[in-house]
Amino acid sequence: MRHVFREGGIRDRASKVAIIITDGQPTVFRRLTEDEAQAAQGEGIQMFSVGITDNVDVNTLQYLSSNPRTLNQNYFTSTDFGQLLTILNGLLSVVCGTQTGITSASITTQETRRT
């Protein structure tokens, strides 16, 4: 992930933000996942995590998110994808300073354009 924000990957004054959507259960290389998250944060990337399932490991979500690692501020949980749009719209308003959000119609439109 850190490679996205290196030379040529970001405008000079643009914020470095990563939003990770996960089931909150690293299945391979748990230590590597935590190390990479810490390294990305050390490079100034503001990280948010969203755990989607009823079996989310909150400790993992906290590691993947930036300080203050507070529920509904830097990390979010939902038992299913039904709340994902609401969570992402809240994040967009925080990260981008805008009230314009994602709607299910805009996602459908974007998916249609890809096919």
Residue 100 and residue 31 in contact, taking contact as beta carbons nearer than 8 Å: no
CATH T-level assignment (fold) for domain 2-81:
Rossmann fold (3.40.50)
Residues 8-51: pLDDT tens digits?
556 667 778 889 999 878 877 778 888 888 999 998 899 999 99
Find the largest Cα–Cα distance for the chain. 40
Q: How far is CA 26 from CA 30, 31, 40, 64, 91, in A?
A: 5, 9, 17, 11, 23
User: Which of 4-8, 11-15, 91-95 shows the lowest mean pLDDT across its residues?
Assistant: 4-8
Angle, alpha carbons 91-72-50 (nearest 5°): 65
For residue 115, pLDDT over 80 is answered with: no
Give the confidence band of 110 by pLDDT, cuts at 50, 70, 90: very low
pTM, rounded to two decimals:
0.74
